[in-house]
């Protein structure tokens, strides 16, 4: 069975979804991710879905679950590179990916993640309110 590789870079985990992301792969990814976050005590998770061209309600929920799970394990989750069609589908399906951060590109995502993690380290009260500078 296909498994999506999870790369560890410092305190960050990096996942790029490039294969056919069907239900089983998604569930396996959720499982693997929660395990790795605990094992490496990662503080940030970056998921690149720029190659994902189709999404259904199940996939939307899994993405939401990944975000919620990582949140519980004290790890910020940033979703990058969502295609317009997917963004529209997710909103039309009424799935609210609350607690998930998004960024246009992997670069922006990493910057946002660093910011979120550092803000927490420095003991700033609410990292959530801080918005990434867009320029």
Contact residues for another protein, defined by CB under 8 A: 79-84, 86-88, 90-92, 96-97, 102-105, 108-109, 131-135
Q: Cα–Cα distance between 62 and 126 in angstroms, integer? A: 26
**Residue 91 or 118 having the CB closest to another protein:** 91
For the bound state, the minimum distance from the C-beta of residue 108 to another protein, rounded and expressed in Å, comes to 7
**Residue 9 or 87 having the CB closest to another protein:** 87
For the bound state, the minimum distance from the C-beta of residue 20 to another protein, rounded and expressed in Å, comes to 21
**Residue 32 or 108 having the CB closest to another protein:** 108
**Residue 36 or 113 having the CB closest to another protein:** 113
For the bound state, the minimum distance from the C-beta of residue 39 to another protein, rounded and expressed in Å, comes to 28
Between strands 6-9 and 12-16, the pairing is antiparallel
Whether the CB-CB separation of 78 and 102 falls below 8 Å is answered with yes
Whether the CB-CB separation of 109 and 103 falls below 8 Å is answered with yes
Q: Cα–Cα distance between 37 and 8 in angstroms, integer? A: 10
Tokens of 59: 């996939």
For the bound state, the minimum distance from the C-beta of residue 11 to another protein, rounded and expressed in Å, comes to 21
Centroid of chain to Cα 58: 16
């Amino acid at each position: 069975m296909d498994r999506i590789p999870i790369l560890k870079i410092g305190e960050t985990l990096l996942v790029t979804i490039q294969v056919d992301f069907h239900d089983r792969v998604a569930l396996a990814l959720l499982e693997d991710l929660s395990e790795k976050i605990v094992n490496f005590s990662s503080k940030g998770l970056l998921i690149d879905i720029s190659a994902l061209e189709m999404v259904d309600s199940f996939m939307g929920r899994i993405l939401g679950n990944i975000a919620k799970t990582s949140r519980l394990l004290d790890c910020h989750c940033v979703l990058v590179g969502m295609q317009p069609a997917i963004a529209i589908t997710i909103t039309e399906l009424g799935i609210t990916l609350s607690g998930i951060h998004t960024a246009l590109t992997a670069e922006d995502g990493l910057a946002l993640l660093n910011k979120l993690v550092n803000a927490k380290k420095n003991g700033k009260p609410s990292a959530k309110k801080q918005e990434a500078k867009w320029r």
